[in-house]
Chain A
Amino acid sequence: MLKDRVAEFVSRSLNGRRIQRRKCKFIHDPLWGTIEISNLEAEILDTPLLQRLKQIHQTGFVYQTFPSARHTRFDHTLGVMHLAGRIAETLGKKFKNFADRKSIQKVRLAALMHDTGHSAFSHTSEEVYANCPDMIEFKERNPEFANSGAGEILSFLITTSDPFREYFERIRKTLGKENVYVEVDDFAKLILGKATNPKKQFEAEIISGPFDADKLDYFPRDGRSAGFQLTLDFERLLHCMEIAEIDNLSGNKTAILIVNRGGFNPIQQLLFARATLFATVYHHQKVRACDAMVKCCFEHFRENKLPFRKAPGFKDGVSLESAADYLSITDYDFFAEAALHAEDTFQHRLISNLCQRKLFKRVLSISSRTIEGFHDDKKQPLRYRRLLDMIELPEKLRAMALEILAKSGAECTSSEVWLDIPTTPSFAKAGNARIRIHPGKGPETLMKLSKFIPVEKWVETYTQWYSQCYLFGPEDRKERIALARAAITLFQSRLKLRLMKEAVAEDIRDKVFP
């Protein structure tokens, strides 16, 4: 079972670990300056559970396109913990009845643990282990996790595992109740964006909400590392954050995180940063090609039951059958797999190509701009919808890619053909942020941000003008021409989707559409 496999991993990571009575730490962060780490946090931070995040790039292979984007999940985790703590502290000063020292410790610990479930290349491998049978089964058996990402689920399972609970109790015994005043169950659910105290929804929103500490850290951090001058006035936003009491879905009062009118501008900056980063960085076609190659590599290991040999602590390698197996792999192990085994196998060639930036090449780009008559023919948008929906069924998407390969007669391997549908950034959550319009007049003056900022227009504009699906193939030109021809025919016959000449990669366009 997934839970047991995760517990095994945690047990291995914490095995024989001694708790030291230490003072607090100070870490300098390029984005937020000096970050103070309490003795409790330092005990967790120094475990392999957190230290491994130093070996996982925050934005996966983005650095192959934006070379300076080499920051790690560890840097981000520290930033999120710092911001979560600052938000809770600020709220505590203004709303003493709601945010107390317990709230501060809860959100800081949740932030510290929120990314521990990540594997190599962050969200890229997440798409692979999300489809592991035990992860699928876990979600089916526990529908309350249905809306959580696979990485979030692993982080939650790590935090609630028996070995971690035992370790946390040992820290409490060593440091005393004056330093540790929360239980694991007080903060574990916050990782999933769910409140542990139904009266304090704001604690969950600090970790996962319209303007949570996670976004407030990763937008400026990713933007800065990729070389984009994005503005986010965090201090102003913090100044404008407040708490309001409204009814939750069960009809009980709960305290939620809101901003007053002065917070409009920083929230707009956040939305703008989101759109910019998705359009230019996360969805850059070369970044998507790298992602496709990483996924292809992991799938190849899994489908062929090949052990991933360089996972530390595994003499015979790790099988990658369980989602928990991915916890044993970081970016470094991925590279080591290729570097230390010189034999000429498909997977090692693939990793080596990734390192040398010999990437999959674009065969087709499918978007509203490359579909014939998208804006005039009333049927074409409907057919495009059907293609976009396939993101919900990855096995169907994979089957389509394989069908394209079979029909093309190309001689490349099945792993080299990828149909890629990127997830559209969710702006809707931001639009749901509550704004207090007339300060001091009570909850009836709360309005949703989408009333004042056309968030929905951003969604429509992004999806229509920036979002693109790709068909990737091998470098060989002849094979890509064959794949393009087969794909165009298949899209037309299966989905009745007609693609324009512009959909085909420029270097093969004339051969596909003579």
Chain B
Amino acid sequence: MTKEAKFYGSELPVAVFAHFTRRHFKISDPTEIVAAFYRARKTNRFNVFFSNYHFDEDGVDPRCESLSRGLQTLQGTMLLGRMNPYLVKYSISPKVKDDYEESLRSKVTNKSKLRQLAKYVQRQLDSSEHRNRQLAALDA
């Protein structure tokens, strides 16, 4: 296994979001973001990035305190937000890319693995969005 620097707090979401090709997601709350990371963790392909993030899978939703705190930090520093007019979209600030370049890029050894992780998480969020749209249509 490649020796990878350990992410903590909001570093993992920053590193992942920085590689996203989309910036807006129609998802209902951060549990869907946590769930997307959880599914990535479950594949066991990206374990190197998750050493400081442990998921509880006892209940209905996966729970990871450090990831949730990290996401709240991103919201508090306006790097991730739901402050759009209709409160239906999560927006990832373009500054996240700068943040990654400035503080995290040098820390990451396996950059292609990180890109794969980002792709995987983004795909998970895409499916969440798709599911939400279907539910909304059913509701209507």
A residues whose Cβ falls under 8 Å from a Cβ of B:
143-144, 146-147, 194-195, 198, 201, 204-205, 246-250, 254, 256, 368, 378-379, 381-382, 384-386, 388-393, 423-424, 426, 428, 431-432, 444, 448, 450-451, 454-457, 459-460, 462-464, 467
Instruction: State which of A194, A198, A388 has its C-beta within 8 Å of the C-beta of B77.
Output: A388
Evaluate whether A378 and B59 lie within 8 angstroms (CB atoms) in the complex, with A389-B9, A391-B9, A460-B82 already known.
no
State whether A248 touches B60 (Cβ < 8 A): yes
State whether B98 touches A457 (Cβ < 8 A): no
State whether B8 touches A389 (Cβ < 8 A): yes
State whether B58 touches A456 (Cβ < 8 A): no
State whether A389 touches B76 (Cβ < 8 A): no
- The proximity string for B residues 1-40 relative to A, scoring 1 for CB distances below 8 Å and 0 otherwise, is 0000000111100100000000000001111000000000
Instruction: State which of A204, A431, A457 has its C-beta within 8 Å of the C-beta of B59.
Output: A204
Instruction: State which of B11, B30, B81, B83 has its C-beta within 8 Å of the C-beta of A389.
Output: B11
Q: Could you say which residues of chain A place their CB within 8 Å of the CB of B79?
A: 381-382, 385
State whether B87 touches A388 (Cβ < 8 A): no
Please name 17 pairs of A and B residues whose Cβ atoms are closer than 8 Å in the assembled complex, sorted by A: A204-B58, A247-B60, A378-B98, A381-B77, A385-B99, A388-B10, A388-B76, A392-B9, A392-B66, A423-B69, A428-B72, A444-B138, A454-B82, A456-B75, A456-B82, A459-B76, A463-B73
Instruction: State which of A143, A254, A378, A392 has its C-beta within 8 Å of the C-beta of B60.
Output: A254
Bound CA–CA A194/B8 (angstroms): 25
State whether B59 touches A389 (Cβ < 8 A): no
Give the top 9 A-B pairs by smallest Cβ distance, nearest first: A463-B76, A146-B54, A389-B9, A450-B29, A456-B82, A382-B99, A381-B77, A392-B9, A385-B77
Instruction: State which of B60, B63, B75 has its C-beta within 8 Å of the C-beta of A460.
Output: B75
Q: Could you say which residues of chain B place their CB within 8 Å of the CB of A248?
A: 58-60
State whether B61 touches A432 (Cβ < 8 A): yes
Residue B64 lies at the interface, judged by CB distance under 8 Å to chain A:
yes
Evaluate whether A389 and B10 lie within 8 angstroms (CB atoms) in the complex, with A455-B29, A457-B87, A459-B76 already known.
yes
Residue B130 lies at the interface, judged by CB distance under 8 Å to chain A:
no
Bound CA–CA A247/B59 (angstroms): 9
Q: How far, in Å, is A131 (CB) from chain B's closest CB?
A: 15
Bound CA–CA A496/B68 (angstroms): 26
Q: Could you say which residues of chain A place their CB within 8 Å of the CB of B58?
A: 194-195, 198, 201, 204, 248-249
Bound CA–CA A389/B14 (angstroms): 12
Residue B52 lies at the interface, judged by CB distance under 8 Å to chain A:
yes
Evaluate whether A456 and B98 lie within 8 angstroms (CB atoms) in the complex, with A248-B60, A256-B60 already known.
no
Q: Could you say which residues of chain A place their CB within 8 Å of the CB of B59?
A: 194-195, 201, 204-205, 248-249, 254, 256
Q: Could you say which residues of chain B place their CB within 8 Å of the CB of A432?
A: 29, 31, 61
Q: Could you say which residues of chain B place their CB within 8 Å of the CB of A426?
A: 68-69, 72
Taking residues whose C-beta sits less than 8 angstroms from the other chain, chain B's interface range is 35 or more
Q: How far, in Å, is B56 (CB) from chain A's closest CB?
A: 5
State whether A428 touches B57 (Cβ < 8 A): no
Q: Could you say which residues of chain A place their CB within 8 Å of the CB of B71?
A: 428
State whether B60 touches A391 (Cβ < 8 A): no
State whether B76 touches A382 (Cβ < 8 A): no
State whether B103 touches A382 (Cβ < 8 A): yes
State whether A428 touches B10 (Cβ < 8 A): no
Bound CA–CA A247/B54 (angstroms): 21
Instruction: State which of A146, A249, A450 has its C-beta within 8 Å of the C-beta of B28.
Output: A450
Bound CA–CA A386/B102 (angstroms): 11
Q: Could you say which residues of chain B place their CB within 8 Å of the CB of A194?
A: 56, 58-59
Instruction: State which of B9, B30, B87, B103 has its C-beta within 8 Å of the C-beta of A428.
Output: B30
Q: Report the nearest A residue to B27, measured CB to CB.
A: A450
State whether A460 touches B76 (Cβ < 8 A): yes
State whether A382 touches B69 (Cβ < 8 A): no
State whether B78 touches A381 (Cβ < 8 A): yes
Q: Report the nearest A residue to B32, measured CB to CB.
A: A448
Bound CA–CA A224/B8 (angstroms): 37
Q: Report the nearest A residue to B67, measured CB to CB.
A: A147
Q: Could you say which residues of chain A place their CB within 8 Å of the CB of B55?
A: 147
User: B residues 83-108 with Cβ under 8 Å of A?
Assistant: 83, 87, 93, 95, 98-99, 102-103
State whether B31 touches A382 (Cβ < 8 A): no
Q: Could you say which residues of chain B place their CB within 8 Å of the CB of A456?
A: 29-30, 75, 82, 87
